[in-house]
Amino acid sequence: MKRRSVFYLLLSICISALIFTVIACKKDNQNTGRRWSPESGRMPQAGDEYVNPFDESVLVWIPGGEFYMGSEEGDPDEKPRHKVTVEGFWIGKYEVTNKQYQKFLRATGFPEPQYWDDPDYNKPELPVTGVRWYEAVGYCEWANLRLPTEAEWEYAARGGRDYEYPTANGSISHDLANYWGVEGKDTWLNTPAPVGQFPPNPYGLYDMAGNVFEWTSSLYYRYPYISTDGREDQEARYFRVMRGGSWQFSSGECRSAFRRRFDMHLRYDYVGIRVAKSMQVQRGGK
Ligand SMILES: [Ca+2]
């Protein structure tokens, strides 16, 4: 009798521990919206958010780890699928908006984006479009931020769950993202949507799938992704990679692994910015 009650006691402890672990793991990948500041004196944790004082971008902390980058089923430039390690970093919760970009223009005198006077593109809550790679970098430098690397972008896109599409559940539909065509929640045919209209991915990031393509810091090199092989040379003149698909292209380009090479000097109405930041938040530490 005594032996049996010990057995049941141990069993219930095991089950409780299992439930606790499952909840903790789930929580680890969820965005909690908890505010973090450098003054808190603690390391950022999964789900923390930081408001960048220079441009008011909300940044979400992405804990470091390993993931599989690329796809064996996608385009040739996505192969081979390979393991990449990423340090923890901050990434923009939303695409940079026209409202934010306007503050940058006023402060720096950078040229206006191509569609700045077009009412289809210039509303404050829309993502900024028509920006060259250099202009995206200029914005980031002014805001004490940087562009995400291609590896960081895909790692964040996959939401800690190896999602094929960087949406709320890893699949794609017009209820989850703005891409070419209209249906369901996606009522935008010929323009981007205001940022944040669709549910976020598990890290709490909005519009990683569709809306506007997002510049990365990376040169368009073959895989495997090796951060030290020259592809992160910010002075080099070559194609850079954009990620995430856009309102003007099909759902296939919204895939987490999809890579689009783009001329650094060009501006288009489907190209925008998502910012990133390394761990240091003090001025000077990008
Ligand atoms: Ca659409």
Let me know if residue 75 belongs to a domain: no
CATH of the domain at 268: 3.90.1580.10
Distance 33 CA to ligand 1 centre (A): 28
Let me know if residue 184 belongs to a domain: yes
Distance 42 CA to ligand 1 centre (A): 41
Distance 92 CA to ligand 1 centre (A): 22
Number of domains in the chain: 1
Let me know if residue 224 belongs to a domain: yes
Distance 32 CA to ligand 1 centre (A): 29
Distance 21 CA to ligand 1 centre (A): 40
Let me know if residue 13 belongs to a domain: no
Let me know if residue 281 belongs to a domain: no
Let me know if residue 7 belongs to a domain: no
For strands 48-51 and 34-35, give the pairing.
parallel
Let me know if residue 1 belongs to a domain: no
Distance 228 CA to ligand 1 centre (A): 37
Distance 268 CA to ligand 1 centre (A): 17
What is residue 23's predicted lDDT score, i.e. its pLDDT?
44
Distance 168 CA to ligand 1 centre (A): 17
What is residue 25's predicted lDDT score, i.e. its pLDDT?
41
Which residues, by Cβ under 5 Å, contact ligand 1, an ion?
178, 186, 188
What is residue 118's predicted lDDT score, i.e. its pLDDT?
97
Distance 187 CA to ligand 1 centre (A): 6
Distance 247 CA to ligand 1 centre (A): 5
Distance 184 CA to ligand 1 centre (A): 10
Residues 6+ away with beta carbon under 8 Å from 9: none
Let me know if residue 228 belongs to a domain: yes
- pLDDT tens, per residue, the chain with 286 residues: 466 776 676 667 656 655 554 444 444 445 567 999 988 888 999 989 999 999 999 999 999 999 999 999 999 999 999 999 999 999 999 999 999 999 999 999 999 999 999 999 999 999 999 999 999 999 999 999 999 999 999 999 999 999 999 999 999 999 999 999 999 999 999 999 999 999 999 999 999 999 999 999 999 999 999 999 999 999 999 999 999 999 999 999 999 999 999 999 999 999 999 999 998 655 444 4
Distance 83 CA to ligand 1 centre (A): 33
What is residue 41's predicted lDDT score, i.e. its pLDDT?
87
Structural domain that includes position 190: 96-275
Distance 140 CA to ligand 1 centre (A): 28
